[in-house]
Structures are given as structure tokens and as C-alpha cells.
Amino acid sequence: MDGQAVKRVVIAGGGTAGWTVAAALAKNLGSLLEISLVESDAIGTVGVGESTIPTARRFHELLGIDERSFVCATQASFKLGIAFEDWAKIGDRYFHAFGVTGQSTWLADFHHVWLQAREQGLAGEFGDYCLELQAAEAGKFEGGKGSRLNYAYHLDASAYGRFLRAFAEPLGVRRIEGKIAQVDLASDTGFIEALVLESAERVAGDLFIDCTGFRGLLIEEALATGYEDWTHWLPTDSALAVQTEATGPARPYTRAIARPAGWQWQIPLQKRVGNGLVFCSRYLSDDEAHAQLARQIEGAMLTDPRLIRFRAGTRRKAWNRNCIAIGLASGFVEPLESTSIHLIMIAVTRLMQLFPFGGISEALISRYNEVSRRELESIRDFIVLHYHLNERDEEFWRECRTMDIPDTLAERLALFRDAGHAYQAADELFRTDSWVQVMLGQRLSPRGHHAMGRLMRPEQLSAALANIAANIDAAVARLPQHQTFLDRFCGHPSG
């Protein structure tokens, strides 16, 4: 299709992935394209991706989405990070906060100074110097344009899909109801020509976006792209999800609680709580998982627990011929750091930047796939990090501790262990602060660090850290409680 203009875009599948793609394309490229979305009311969506990271706010700004309208429509709450409980060792607790910790310079990142101060007995906890962490622990929050906080959202994924549909359809997206019965391929090129529905309606297009979930109806069943399995690094393969009544004010953070064969999530929304247990089926049966989750949730169940199977890994190509897989159809690295919705958003952003208006070429496909894979591999490494660095004594955790890990992660861990250095490469999602918080939280203590802190006299170093902490304490004291802000933001009566 090199040189053949691309105008007709067909999105297979709705849900969060399909409607995110439709909304972004219609808002930013709508006058240049004809966008159709095929979905069936008879096919459910996974719909448990209830947590985001701060990149969602930037994406909404690109689309011109009003934050208040979004938060109220999706029953969202605000998120300042993730509390990890019992991960490295039972009884441990640490926080991956979304903000910047301390004050870094061109010479060295803040954690090097903190490590020097800790060596001299002058430092508090690492989290004492992060505004978002301290606000989260105090249950405080304030959003809006003037907010100093770096934050994300907890949301109802099904409601989010409906919200995006209501946003996209007035921009010209044509929704076609029906199940896909067949994918027609061109005999000469192997490109997709059309989707044929059970009704016999034929939906032709130039570019097809596969948002059909784990099944990968276009990218895999039609195009046989292939899947690279990562379960030897990420052995969890199952999740139970259930909604419960709220038992108290919504916390402005996600809880991730390590369990003997996986971990449990707790995500507070405005009127309910999302819960789930991610586990490895080799170490925990479905019945045992149901019993474990039932024992450990708080509040009455509003839904029956739903079992979801998955396999960590990635399609060998996210873009193959004239088909691009986005969302679960492109791969999955498990929900620990809430990256699924981000990966949808960044995928459609990348597509808009590399859109093949003049025709699909191997150069465009190669660039898209290269950048997509590099980002996904760095996310994979970040998640493997949480599992690999542990001192727990259950069989599942011993396997994670002793498994071979990707060379890219091994190099990072060696760099931090030996010299305290962490970094964020150009195409990576997670910041230096994120790597440092998790490595320290998982009990990786550097043997060395940059000596910049020794340039300050002990009293200067102590005073500088105390000043940072005092400014954060004062800022947190001025913030309203998260639940109070949320009620006011969406016009709910207080109390």
C-alpha cells in the first residue's frame, strides 16, 4: 500500500481501547479521516482497568476533555501513587509516589545526597521529601490547574468507555453494531480488505485497528503475527476481580498487597471499591483464590468475582501490514503499575504522529514497532523488578527471586547496587524517581553513591533536608482531605 492514500480507518472492538482510539483520531485528525468502530453489545469487555498514571491527564488535555466532566461521569477518584505492602518482606510497606522526591541537580540526583545524609545519620525516610507521598499518607488532595500535585485517576473502566463514546460520536465516528464473522484479506498483499459481520455487512477500510482484546481477532487470528511469551519473567496468569461497597473515605492511592502466590489490589472510586487478586495458577487454584479474596476484601460484594486469564507477553509486531493492535490485543504485562490504559493512549498518540496518510510503508511500520517494543520492554523490566527483589519464603516468591531476569534489568540493578545510579532513557515511561523508590522499597541498598553530598558540611546538609521536609509538611497541612475535595468537585453533599 506504499503510495496508496489512507483515509478509511476501521476500529475492531469498543471498550476503553476502541473508544480511546476513536476519540483521539476523531479529535485530532477527524477532518482527514473516515472513522468507523465495529462492536457488539453481546460481547463484554475486560473492564477492570480501573487505575491510571499521570500521563492520562496529558492525554485528556490533547483531546480537550474537561476534568470535572470526566471525573463525575466515571465515578473517578484521584491517585497520588501506589502503596506496596508486604512485597520485599512480610511487614514491609513502601510507596511509589508520582511526584519528584527532593531536589536534584545536573551533577547528581537527589537520592545520592539522601544516601550520603543517611550514612551520616542526618536523613529522614526517603519519602519525607516527596510532596505526593506525604499528601497521600495524610489522605489529602487538591486538583485543578493551580495544584502542585502530580496525580492520576482511579475510574470505572466501563463508564470510561461510555464517556469516550459520547465524546467521539459527535466528532463523526460511525459506530457499527455487530459481531465480526470473517476478516477478508487481499490475495496479493495479505492486507486486510474488510471485516464481514454476521449480518453479512461488509466494512471496508484502508487501516484497521485491532482492539479485540486478548483474542487478537485481526492481528493474530487473521494475520498470524505471533506472540512472544514473557511468563518466565512474569508468572502470574490469572486475576479475580470484584466490586465492593466503600467502607470509608476514598484514599488518594492504590493499595497493592503481596500475597503468597501473587498480589491483591484495592482501588477506591467515589461510591465503591475495585478489588482483585492477581495470582499464578501453578501455586493457587481458582477455588483457593476465591476463598482467599473473599477473606481479605473489605465491604460487602456488589458483584460476583470474575475470573480473567492472561499470558504476559507481546505480539511480535504491534503493526503488521495494515493492522495495528492496540490495548490487550497488542500484549499484556499485568496490571501491577497501572500501565494498560497508558499503553492504549501512547499507542494512538504514536499512530497519530506516524499516521500513513500517503500510504503504509515498511519504514513507518518499523519505526512504530521499534519504539513500541522498547517502551513495553522497559515497563516489563520495571514490573519484574517488584517480583525479583524479595526476601519472602513462599514457593512462588522464591521462584521469582531466583529466576533469570532480562539483561536490561540486570544491568540496571547492578548499576544501582554498585554506585546508586538510576536513570530514565528517552523512550521509557518510568522516571528515575520511580526506579529509586521501588528499588529502595524492595530492599536493594546501594554499596556506593555519588559524593556530591560530601561537598556540604553536615550542618548544611541537615538543614537543607529539614527545609525540604518542612516545606512539604506545610504544603500538606494546607490541603483539604481527598474525600472532601472529591465531594466538592462533583457536587456531592458532604458527610
For residue 93 the three cell numbers come to 510497606
Radius of gyration from C-alpha coordinates of the chain: 23
- For residue 90, the one-letter residue type is I
For residue 187 the three cell numbers come to 490475495
Q: What is the 3-state secondary structure (H, E, C) of 157-194?
A: HHHHHHHHHHHHHHHCCEEEECCEEEEEECCCCCCEEE
What is the Cα–Cα distance from 10 to 178, expressed in whole angstroms? 13
Give per-residue burial for 348-367: e unless 16+ CB within 10 Å, then b: bbbbeeebbeeebeeebbee
Given the residues 27, 79, 140, 145, the one annotated as active site:
79
What is the Cα–Cα distance from 57 to 60, expressed in whole angstroms? 5
If residue 369 lies in a helix (H) or strand (E), which one and from where to where?
A: helix 362-388
What is the Cα–Cα distance from 273 to 242, expressed in whole angstroms? 9
Which among 119, 118, 142, 145 is positioned nearest to 131, based on CA atoms?
142
Q: How far is CA 400 from CA 230, 376, 384, 415, in A?
A: 13, 20, 9, 20
The β-bridge relationship of strands 272-279 and 254-259 is: unpaired
79 part of the active site: yes
Q: Reduced to 3 states, what is the DSSP secondary structure of residue 375?
A: helix
Distance of CA 233 to the CA centre of its chain: 18
Write the Ramachandran bin of 204: left for phi over 0, alpha for psi from -120 to 50, otherwise beta. Answer: beta
Which among 1, 3, 5, 8 is positioned nearest to 208, based on CA atoms?
8
Torsion, Cα 270 276 278 284, to 10 degrees, reads 170
Q: How far is CA 282 from CA 231, 285, 384, 395, in A?
A: 12, 7, 18, 10
Q: Where are the beta strands (DSSP E) in 310-376?
A: 313-315, 319-320, 323-325, 331-332
Site of grid cell 534489568: 409
What is the Cα–Cα distance from 168 to 161, expressed in whole angstroms? 10
Catalytic residues, by residue number, are: 79
